[in-house]
Structure 1
Amino acid sequence: MTKRAESKYKINRRLGVNLWGRAKSPIAKREYGPGQHGQRRKQKPTDFGVQLMAKQKLKGYYGNIGEKQFRKYYEEAVRRKGDTSENLIELLERRLDTIIYRMKLAVTPFAARQFVNHGHVLINGKRLNIPSYLVKDTDVIEVKEKSKSLTAVLDAAQSGERDVPEYIEIDHRAMRGRLLRAPKLSDVPYPVQMEPNLVVEFYSR
């Protein structure tokens, strides 16, 4: 198990939110932060602190993406035409591990990343094990035949914890689907409020 996976819920207590909306989150029992100083009265954050928290929240939601890679997404979002914050969300939602999570083929973004890493996913009939691959609208995403009966996949598909968003198409019997369109911020079913505009402000300081 990776260090990221081991501490995946610690970020919930640190930020004071249930990032993935899961009942297992410790924030449901203890709303204060981890550690011996977790119950101290919080000071009002500075503008920098608010922006940093928005960045940490967005990074954490997508499986705690590394800083170097996350900054590259920001730079690509700036380079593209249109609203930078909307572009950033589109790039994050096009990640293959995110699509697998949205399709309900994995219970968490961490599980989705591991599922892709282990070679269980086919793109247009070919195995692809790169979680950060940016899915195109024409790509057909499918679970490898031998992996379709895995308990983890079946449990995720049948879970009532969340729904598949409208911009994703998935046939859970065939374990095959695709991205119908690029989502906007308002389309993405975040359990908590995300503020990519503050992330843009953080990087553009």
Structure 2
Amino acid sequence: MSKRIEAKHKIDRRLGVNLWGRPKSPLNNREYGPGQHGQRRKKPTDFGIQLMAKQRLRGYYGSIGERQFRKLYAEAVRRRGDTSEMLIGLLESRLETVVYRAKFVPTVFAARQFVNHGHVKVNGKRVNIGSYQLKEGDVVEVRERSRDMALVVGAAQSGERDVPEYIEADHKKMTAKYVRVPQLAEVPYPVTMEPHLVTEFYSR
């Protein structure tokens, strides 16, 4: 087992949910936390509930660093509108997220690595920063020499998940158009996300 896969499994068990809805998650067989005290249950505090909601949202997007996640929250607060919805919009507008949503790669972790290694273009220009913020109408494409990679072909053919409506993906051309910023209700999370609790956590 690779360190990356092991890390994903630990995140699932620590948070107590199959965060990415994957069939190989250990939580499918062991619905309790890791370690010898993993089966202990205690009633969480309000702070604990908010913290777990924040960790769940952070973890889903590939365990974004705390400093970077807090910056995203600060940007969401700065913008007009509901902070929770703005935060989700910013997370879904990240290049690595769109690469994952478009089914160019199988996992969010693979999406980050795929972008970092220079396999992706945005509007015809190579971009290797996973946190790059896309705008409505931007076109993401897999570089021609990368389209035959087993990782890409397998992800595109997988029936494990569907491409959401706010992204138009063409797997023959290996392109995806970021049509619009989604609302929370449109995002296909395998588990319930509660960004309003994240807002409460940071505004304490």
**Which sections of structure 2, spanning at least 5 residues, go unmatched?**
none
Q: Following TM superposition, by how much is the alpha carbon of 1:174 offset from its aligned partner in structure 2, in angstroms? A: 0.2
Q: Following TM superposition, by how much is the alpha carbon of 1:138 offset from its aligned partner in structure 2, in angstroms? A: 2.7
Residue 9 of structure 2: aligned partner: 9
Q: Following TM superposition, by how much is the alpha carbon of 1:8 offset from its aligned partner in structure 2, in angstroms? A: 1.3
Distance in 2 of aligned mates of 1:201 and 1:186? 19
> In 2, are the aligned partners of 1:4 and 1:64 still within 8 Å (CA)?
no
Distance in 2 of aligned mates of 1:77 and 1:93? 13
Would the alpha carbon gap of residues 89 and 26 (structure 1) be closer, same or farther in structure 2, given more than 3 Å must change?
Answer: same
How much is the aligned-residue C-alpha RMSD, in angstroms?
Answer: 1.3
Number of residue pairs aligned between Structure 1 and Structure 2: 204
Matched, 1:70 2:65: no
For 1:29-44, what aligned pairs fall within 5 Å after superposition? Answer: 29-40=29-40, 42-44=41-43
Q: Following TM superposition, by how much is the alpha carbon of 1:189 offset from its aligned partner in structure 2, in angstroms? A: 0.3
For 1:114-125, what aligned pairs fall within 5 Å after superposition? Answer: 114-125=113-124
Q: Following TM superposition, by how much is the alpha carbon of 1:39 offset from its aligned partner in structure 2, in angstroms? A: 1.6
Q: Following TM superposition, by how much is the alpha carbon of 1:177 offset from its aligned partner in structure 2, in angstroms? A: 1.4
Distance in 1 of aligned mates of 2:199 and 2:39? 31
Residue 86 of structure 1: aligned partner: 85
Aligned residue identity for 1:32: Y
Q: TM-score, normalised by structure 1?
A: 0.97
> In 1, are the aligned partners of 2:137 and 2:180 still within 8 Å (CA)?
no
4+ residue stretches of structure 1 with deviation over 3 A? 1-6
Residue 125 of structure 2: aligned partner: 126
Q: Secondary structure at the match of 2:8?
A: coil
Q: TM-score, normalised by structure 2?
A: 0.97
Distance in 2 of aligned mates of 1:164 and 1:140? 15
**Aligned residues: percent identity?**
69
Residue 100 of structure 1: aligned partner: 99
**Which sections of structure 1, spanning at least 5 residues, go unmatched?**
none
For 1:156-171, what aligned pairs fall within 5 Å after superposition? Answer: 156-171=155-170
> In 2, are the aligned partners of 1:101 and 1:112 still within 8 Å (CA)?
yes
More deviation in 97-106 or 136-145? 136-145
Q: Secondary structure at the match of 1:7?
A: helix
